[in-house]
Amino acid sequence: MSRRTREAFTLIELLVVIAIIAVLIGLLLPAVQKVREAAARIQSTNNLKQIGLAFASYADANGEFPHNGTWNYTAWVWGPYQGNWTYTDPRPQVAAGCSWPYKILPYIEQGNLYTNWGVPYPNGIGWTTPIKTFLDPSRGGSGLSTKAYTGLNGDLYNAGPVTDYAANGLLIGSGENTLTNSSGNPDFGNLWTGQPSTWKTFHRKYTSITDGSSNTVCVGTKAMATQTYSLRGNNKIALSNGTQGDTNDSPIAGSGPDQMGTLRSMGPDTTWYMAGNPGAMNPADPYATDIPGSAYRLANGWTWFKFTFQIVQDQKDLDSWNRWGSPYSGGGLFAMCDGSVRTLTYSTPYQTVIPLMTPAGGEVFQLDN
């Protein structure tokens, strides 16, 4: 009996098969990437929803929104003071001076972290515990600053968990909002050295959001240079032109009036060095001199400030100072004061972004559903 031999594939046939497989993979990858982006976007939306609800729960329990605290918690001045000069761990006794992310921990199922941030001392769990609710999944990373806690005062602004979401500074401010000093000039003053009841805060309640809670941003995704993805925290990033830029990503333990890690859309009422009282409003473009609803006018030379009220997609070398954004195509994600989460496109002009940030600016504006 003769046995029929089986012929092998020729080299050309193998190359054709490989080429077909490569084409199929090439067609499949964009679809997979879109699915992954959609899943990450849904998770980020859920995070913002939880944070928005936490703000509402905090406001219900405390009668006002959480502000962003004061520098170094100021507990060494007003008490209750604990430990020594380097004891700067967030703790419930000084929560009034802490940042908004710390304040809302009990309302996002992180009560243990809120109570035991500094336990065990001196390298407590708070400095090494990432908080998933504060992290956008598309940016990756460990969720912690690349700078480790060493027990020094400066670590408050350098170490611990980070957040991809910032609060609207014009809504919540801090415990050191702008006031007028004895010379009649805008200043951070010295009221923050007293008891919390003396601090200059907005004491923002739902009833004081006269522009409408559905049209006022509470929390949103902050803009970020893509180099920051692997260099989280308060760092310097190498730019393509050979210079350095700021990450604008201070960790959540950092408190006070000008923390770009936890605040965006700051203004003259929230940060004294942006404030001034000279000159007159520009009738052709009021946003060049004023943020509606603010007690203070923008300082001289700050006509460029309106352009920081942007929504921009993460990109290399991005200047993220005071800007909103996201890693996603299409636009940035925002939790409004009514609890809804919306997408605002990257083409949204500052003439629309600013009214969305001012809770009592009096602008005639209606956000489309």
In a domain, 210, yes or no: yes
Give strand pairing partners of 179: 187
Q: Is 79 left (phi over 0), alpha (psi -120 to 50) or beta?
A: left
Question: pTM score, two decimals?
Answer: 0.89
In a domain, 20, yes or no: no
CA-closest candidate to residue 342, choices 104, 52, 129: 52
In a domain, 321, yes or no: yes
Q: Which two tokens stand for residue 114?
A: 């809120």
In a domain, 25, yes or no: no
CA-closest candidate to residue 356, choices 160, 131, 171, 202: 171
In a domain, 74, yes or no: yes
Q: Identity (one letter) of the amino acid at 79?
A: G
Give the count of domains, the chain: 1
- Give residue 23's pLDDT band: very low, low, confident or very high (50, 70, 90): confident
Report DSSP state, residue 351.
Answer: H
Q: Identity (one letter) of the amino acid at 213?
A: S
**Domain limits for position 50:** 30-357
Q: What is the mean pLDDT of the chain?
A: 89
Distances in Å between the alpha carbon of 91 and those of 73, 102, 253, 319? 10, 9, 11, 33
In a domain, 211, yes or no: yes
3-state secondary structure 137-197: HHHCCCCECCECCCCCHHHHHCECECCCEEEEHHHHCCCECCEECCCCCEECCCHHHCCHH
- The more confident residue out of 313 and 87 is 313
Alpha-carbon distance of 218 to 356, in angstroms, equals 9
Alpha-carbon distance of 220 to 343, in angstroms, equals 10
- The more confident residue out of 63 and 30 is 63
Task: For residue 344, report the phi and psi dihedrals to the nearest 5 degrees.
Answer: -110, 130
Tens digits of residue pLDDT in 184-225: 889 986 677 788 888 999 999 999 999 999 999 999 999 999
Tens digits of residue pLDDT in 222-281: 999 999 999 999 999 999 999 999 999 999 999 999 999 999 999 999 999 999 976 677
- Burial per residue of 285-302, b for 16 or more beta-carbon CB atoms within 10 angstroms, e otherwise: eebebbbbbbebbbbeeb
Please determine, for residue 29, whether its predicted confidence score (pLDDT) is greater than 60.
yes
- Give residue 282's pLDDT band: very low, low, confident or very high (50, 70, 90): confident
Tens digits of residue pLDDT in 38-49: 899 999 999 999
Q: Identity (one letter) of the amino acid at 14?
A: L
Please determine, for residue 15, whether its predicted confidence score (pLDDT) is greater than 60.
yes
In a domain, 201, yes or no: yes
Q: What is the pLDDT of residue 84?
A: 46
- Give residue 95's pLDDT band: very low, low, confident or very high (50, 70, 90): very high
In a domain, 4, yes or no: no
